Amino acid sequence: MREGTAAVYTTNILLDLVKSRYDLKSDYKLAKFLEVDPSRISNYRNGRSHLDEKLALVVAKLLDFNAGAVLAWTQAERTKCPDARIAWLNAAKVLNDCSGLNYKEGGSNQS
């Protein structure tokens, strides 16, 4: 990656990474693995819907990604406002750069 650029993970990229990491050969197997209806995966793939917050958190955990960054990437993908998209992507970059810093519910620092 060039200096000054940040990784952007779309829904499709995140789903492909889960498939690859867990050796899932099809979107059907991915759906079963994630415990969702296969039509949801199809809707994600075709841009009819985006990861909801709950599934985004599951995906983040499965990939060992910063949960805040994954949530910000999904919001950036979902928004129709170009300025909001830039703001979400900037937030994702900051969160991803601070990936060693995670907080438990209630705000206590996790060591």
pLDDT digits (tens, 9 = 90+) for 73-103: 999 999 999 999 999 999 999 998 876 544 4
Domain presence at residue 2: no
Domain presence at residue 36: yes
Domain presence at residue 103: no
Domain that includes residue 84, residue range: 11-97
Domain presence at residue 104: no
Domain presence at residue 20: yes
pLDDT at 1: 35
Instruction: Single out the residue of 110, 63, 75, 72 nearest to residue 91, CA to CA.
Output: 72
Q: Which residues of the chain have pLDDT under 50?
A: 1-4, 101-111
- The pTM of the full predicted model, rounded to 2 decimals, is 0.81
The CA R_g of the chain, rounded to the nearest whole Å, is 14
Total tally of structural domains belonging to the chain: 1
- Let me know: does 73 contact 67? Beta carbons within 8 Å: no
What residues contact 31, with CB distance under 8 A and at least 6 apart? 37, 38, 40, 41
